[in-house]
Structure 1
Amino acid sequence: MNPIEENAVNILIYLTENNIKDVNGDRIKDLTGLKPDDINDALDYLESIGSVDILRSLDTAPYEFSSVTVNSRGRYLYHELKKEKNEIEIGKGKKLLPERPVNPVGSPYGFTEDDWKFVSLRREDRTSLNVVFGLQYKSEYYDTEQLVETIKKRFQKTIEFYNTKNSERKVTLQFEKLTAGYGEHLFNAIARSIIGSDIAVFEISDGNRNVMIELGVALTWGFRVLPLREKRSPNPPTDISGQTWIEYENSGEKIFDEEFYKKLEKMIEQAIAKKGKM
Structure 2
Amino acid sequence: MWDLQISMQVANYKALYLHKHCSQRSLAEITEMIHTAHLIHKGVVNLSPTVFDGTTLQDMEFGNKIAILSGDYLLANACTGLAALRNTKVVELISTAISDFMEAEFIGDRDNQGNPIPNETITMQDWNEKNFLAAGSLMAKSCQATLLLAGHSEAMQKKGFEFGKEIALAWQVYSDLQPFTDLYRHPPGTAIDLTSAPVILHLLHDHSLLDYVTAAGNSMENCDFKKIHQLIMSGNAVEEAKQLCQSHAQAALNVVQDTFEPSDACTALENIINALKIY
TM-score bracket, normalised by the shorter chain, equals under 0.3
TM-score relative to the length of structure 1: 0.26
Higher strand fraction (1 or 2): 1
Higher helix fraction (1 or 2): 2
